[in-house]
């Protein structure tokens, strides 16, 4: 326990992404620099859209995972979450029983919840009348559905909280869970994010906001001079966190430690980041202070890196404003160049990547970065995955509405002050 606060460790990981249906498949693809981008989709109508493509989960059969009856009662966003939760719990070995279920919580982030069901239900109502609407419509639509269903699936009696801070939601969910465990309110938590926004309505909205890439290859291209926008994706990422005492008591394998969390709001513009990345910089500083980490101790940053003109330049400025000259001596990468932007799930998915980077001492690449923009002048790990000595890594997530969330992870060591084991 440091400064009267309990240490919080990660003991389980779960993923389903455009690159794979589990952690192993996804991570292998990430290190290989593979892209989940495709111009083909069976989830929405492309007519009239300039959108070049999407990053979608492929080969996923919810009936095989959940059973046909249960799968029909869940929106795709909830189905994806269920897969990631199951893998994370299995990986952690955490058993939820009558002895601990009141001391376990679930914290889930999402941007919009069951948007697919929202659209489908309205179509059904218009075409066939209200009596043909599924009785599960509300529970499939509501943003807290994924967390509520996971609580039922595993008998979790602790806090069940859903965060809807747009593209910062997954990171915020982990941050809230981290503070709950560190503060002693609970002993363990399932925390993550999920999103499945690939619908004509959502794509049209993002396109009208000027956020989407129209290219059909080599995109998204974060930090590149030719970047023209984000590529929407879908998926879910979940981690299991516990107090160090809880993990040790059951002999769990500890994967990494969470040490800091920062959350700020720009209060500047509903979609654009604050000028010079000032809101993001405040979140980075807050996370460092929360973890007792000095700027020069950061070894790697998993950037928000969406591939939009405004985000990439403002985030680079924010990093430099906080880390100073040290910013030029560390690796920065945007894994969204491979997964696409998974909105409310993205911060949680990238938290899994940060944990694996610490475990394997390697920095994931940023693909599609050929000609860096002049104002994007950091080391964006653009020539493939790179082995590195990593002790402290930072994960950035920023969202519409001016939401900023930063998480700091540390390589686990038995000593109170951390450091390589």
Q: Which residues form the catalytic set?
A: 167, 304, 341
198 conformational bin, left if phi > 0, alpha if psi -120 to 50, beta if neither:
beta
Provide φ and ψ at 411, rounded to 5°.
-60, 130
Secondary element (H or E) of residue 331: strand 331-333
Contact predicate 235/345, CB 8 Å: yes
Contact predicate 223/339, CB 8 Å: no
DSSP 8-state assignment for residue 388: -
The candidate with the shortest Cα–Cα distance to 394, out of 328, 330, 343, is 330
CA–CA distances in Å: residue 291 to residues 4, 245, 297: 13, 19, 11
Q: Strands, E, within 159-228: which ranges?
A: 160-163, 188-195
Nearby residues of 152 by Cβ (< 8 Å), 6 or more positions away: none
Provide φ and ψ at 140, rounded to 5°.
-80, -25
Q: Strands, E, within 74-139: which ranges?
A: 104-109
């Amino acid at each position: 326990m440091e400064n009267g606060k309990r240490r919080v460790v990660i003991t389980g990981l779960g993923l389903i992404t455009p690159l794979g249906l589990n952690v192993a498949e996804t991570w292998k693809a990430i290190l290989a620099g593979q892209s989940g981008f495709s111009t083909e989709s069976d989830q929405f109508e492309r007519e009239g859209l300039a959108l070049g493509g999407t990053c979608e989960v492929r080969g996923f059969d919810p009936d095989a995972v959940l059973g046909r009856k249960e799968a029909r009662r869940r929106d795709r966003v909830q189905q994806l979450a269920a897969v990631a939760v199951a893998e994370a719990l299995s990986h952690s070995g955490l058993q939820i029983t009558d002895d601990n279920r009141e001391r376990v919580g679930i914290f889930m982030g999402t941007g919009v919840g069951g948007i697919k069901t929202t659209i489908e239900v309205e179509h059904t109502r218009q075409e066939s009348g209200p009596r043909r609407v599924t009785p599960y419509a509300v529970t499939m639509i509501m943003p807290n559905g994924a967390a509520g269903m996971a609580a039922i699936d595993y008998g979790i009696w602790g806090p069940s909280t859903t965060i809807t801070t747009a593209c910062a939601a997954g990171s915020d969910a982990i941050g809230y869970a981290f503070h709950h465990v560190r503060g002693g309110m609970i002993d363990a938590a399932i925390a993550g994010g999920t999103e499945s926004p690939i619908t004509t309505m959502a794509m049209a909205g993002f396109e009208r906001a000027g956020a989407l890439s129209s290219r059909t290859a080599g995109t998204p291209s974060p930090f590149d001079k030719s970047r023209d926008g984000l590529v929407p994706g879908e998926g879910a990422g979940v981690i299991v966190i516990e107090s160090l005492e809880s993990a040790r008591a059951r002999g769990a394998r500890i994967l990494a430690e969470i040490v800091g969390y920062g959350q700020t709001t720009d209060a500047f513009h509903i979609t654009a980041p604050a000028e010079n990345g000032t809101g993001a910089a405040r979140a980075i500083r807050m996370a460092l202070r929360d973890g007792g980490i000095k700027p020069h101790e950061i070894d790697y940053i998993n950037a928000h890196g969406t591939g939009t003109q405004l985000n990439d330049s403002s985030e680079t400025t924010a990093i430099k404003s906080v880390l100073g000259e040290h910013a030029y001596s560390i690796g920065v990468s945007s894994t969204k160049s491979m997964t696409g932007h998974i909105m409310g799930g993205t911060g949680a998915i990238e938290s899994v990547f940060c944990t694996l980077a610490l475990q394997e001492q390697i920095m994931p690449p940023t693909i599609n970065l050929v000609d860096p923009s002049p104002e994007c002048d950091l080391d964006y790990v653009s020539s493939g995955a790179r082995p590195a000595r990593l002790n402290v890594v930072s994960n950035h997530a920023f969202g519409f509405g001016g939401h900023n969330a930063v998480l700091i992870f540390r390589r686990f060591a038995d000593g109170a002050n951390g450091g390589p084991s």
